[in-house]
Chains A and B, each alone.
Chain A
Amino acid sequence: MHISEGILSGEVMAAGAVFTIIGVTLGLRKIDYNRIVHVAIIASAFFVASLIHVNIGPSSVHLICNGIIGLLLGWAAFPAIFAALLLQAFFFQYGGITGLGVNTVIMAVPALLCYYIFSPFIKKDSKLSFFASFIGGAFATFCSAVLFASSLWFTEKKFFGIAITIIAAHIPVMIIEGFVTGFCILFLLKVYPEIFYQKNDSLQKN
């Protein structure tokens, strides 16, 4: 989900930039020095995971994974997503500089919401885990689509049609994201539960 350059109004761009600066600053403050490497390399994995294309009928969509990032990183998702988007702009020319703020908000705010709403339900040996992360993944995608659509709508009320089209087009993506997030979180709980709560153990294990 990328808003292209040149569409948004000055107000929306400014709002995006301000929210991104706040989010990134708060996020960075929550990262201890021994965790920053972890956040950075998870961000690399997020970047790579969003290159994964899954089939949907005759077409394909790429994974978004912002729900997963939210559940794994909490507040640190903000700077991590910002870094990944900056790198995407750099490598793929998806965009320039003016959309970076809004695009970060579109991806990172749902990640954060997903963390606050759904992570309490995600535990090892809990039957709810799959369900919670399924909803979490679908919800994150839905929120992103809504933020995307509303930033268009705030720019120009007459973009309403296109905004609705965008949300509608993301319904199948939500379902796929839901399944992928559900399975992925279940997998992580089984094989590597430490990934969810790495606070002070970075020196303990090999």
Chain B
Amino acid sequence: MNKPIIELENISFSYPDSNIKILDKLNFKVFKNDKIGIIAPNGSGKTTLFYTIMGLCKPFSGNIKILGKLVKTEKDFSFVRSKIGLMFQDADDQLFSPTVLDDVAFGPLNLGYSNIDACDIAKKILYDLGLEEFENSITHRLSGGQKRLVAFASVLAMKPSILLLDEPTAGLDTNAKEKIEKILMNLDISYIVISHEFNFINKITNKTVSMENGKIFKDDEVHIHQHEHIHKLGKLPHKHV
């Protein structure tokens, strides 16, 4: 039988000084080849869910199993972090090194690769994502879209077996969005994507779920629906993306 890569059992979590349960006896399984989209309102605990998987938030009850192994301690999670790549909402949080190459090589160096190997890995990833021209760029001078792509590269450089993407397209223009879509569609690893954009989620995932009251709801069926909308120049033939 296919074993889940990530298995969360009865996870509950709330922040200190707060009674609101962000995650409430949550159960969630992710299998190989799953490409899951999470669409849920702000504040429903999506980001907390990701942080729990990565061990950044410690739940007060429940079990987390990654690749069939129960993880609890900080040491267990350092193994998890080498297998799961989390891409943060704000690329500025992730890119802290002065140059792009430094930043992409940071992960591989931590995994114990030598300077030369880490550099090679970083260069290859940048090349694969079409970012080779930015290799020596100063990170904080990149545009929003470029930063996001470099952050993506820095996560992929860890060669994760599964990716967690927190609103990867928020605030990007169509061009940058398409690039991210393309990269995701060509990936052969599983991923979970948080997004508010239905079209994006539809294109790149094969399962969608929602979150409410600290729990996950499956919603795999496609519902055809229509709605009217207005905007200027609406008379002209046009498309929505």
Which residues of the partner chain B approach A205 to less than 8 Å between Cβ atoms?
Answer: 15-16
Q: Does any Cβ of B come within 8 Å of A97's Cβ? A: no
Which residues of the partner chain B approach A204 to less than 8 Å between Cβ atoms?
Answer: 16, 57-58
Contact of B47 among A37, A203, A206 (CB under 8 A): A206
Which residues of the partner chain A approach B51 to less than 8 Å between Cβ atoms?
Answer: 206
Q: Does any Cβ of A come within 8 Å of B170's Cβ? A: no
State which size class the interface on A falls in: under 10
Once the chains are docked, how many angstroms separate the CA of A37 from the CA of B58? 21
With both beta carbons as reference points, the residue of chain A lying nearest to B56 in the complex is identified as A203
Q: Does any Cβ of A come within 8 Å of B154's Cβ? A: no
Q: Does any Cβ of A come within 8 Å of B48's Cβ? A: yes
Which residues of the partner chain B approach A203 to less than 8 Å between Cβ atoms?
Answer: 56, 58
Once the chains are docked, how many angstroms separate the CA of A206 from the CA of B56? 8
Once the chains are docked, how many angstroms separate the CA of A205 from the CA of B18? 12
Which residues of the partner chain A approach B58 to less than 8 Å between Cβ atoms?
Answer: 203-204
Once the chains are docked, how many angstroms separate the CA of A116 from the CA of B48? 38
Once the chains are docked, how many angstroms separate the CA of A204 from the CA of B51? 10
With both beta carbons as reference points, the residue of chain A lying nearest to B77 in the complex is identified as A203
Which residues of the partner chain A approach B56 to less than 8 Å between Cβ atoms?
Answer: 203, 206
Smallest distance from the beta carbon of B44 to chain A beta carbons, Å? Answer: 13
With both beta carbons as reference points, the residue of chain A lying nearest to B16 in the complex is identified as A204
Q: In chain B between 24 and 68, which residues have their CB closer than 8 angstroms to a CB of chain A?
A: 47-48, 51, 56-58
Which residues of the partner chain B approach A37 to less than 8 Å between Cβ atoms?
Answer: 96
Contact with B along A110-136 (1 / 0, CB 8 A): 000000000000000000000000000
Which residues of the partner chain A approach B47 to less than 8 Å between Cβ atoms?
Answer: 206
Which residues of the partner chain B approach A206 to less than 8 Å between Cβ atoms?
Answer: 15, 47-48, 51, 56-57
Instruction: Give A residues with C-beta under 8 Å from B.
Output: 37, 203-206
12 further A-B contacts with Cβ under 8 Å, apart from A204-B57, A206-B51, are A37-B96, A203-B56, A203-B58, A204-B16, A204-B58, A205-B15, A205-B16, A206-B15, A206-B47, A206-B48, A206-B56, A206-B57
The 9 A-B residue pairs whose C-beta atoms are closest, nearest first, are: A203-B56, A206-B48, A206-B51, A205-B15, A206-B57, A204-B16, A206-B15, A206-B47, A205-B16
Interface pairs (14), CB distance under 8 Å: A37-B96, A203-B56, A203-B58, A204-B16, A204-B57, A204-B58, A205-B15, A205-B16, A206-B15, A206-B47, A206-B48, A206-B51, A206-B56, A206-B57
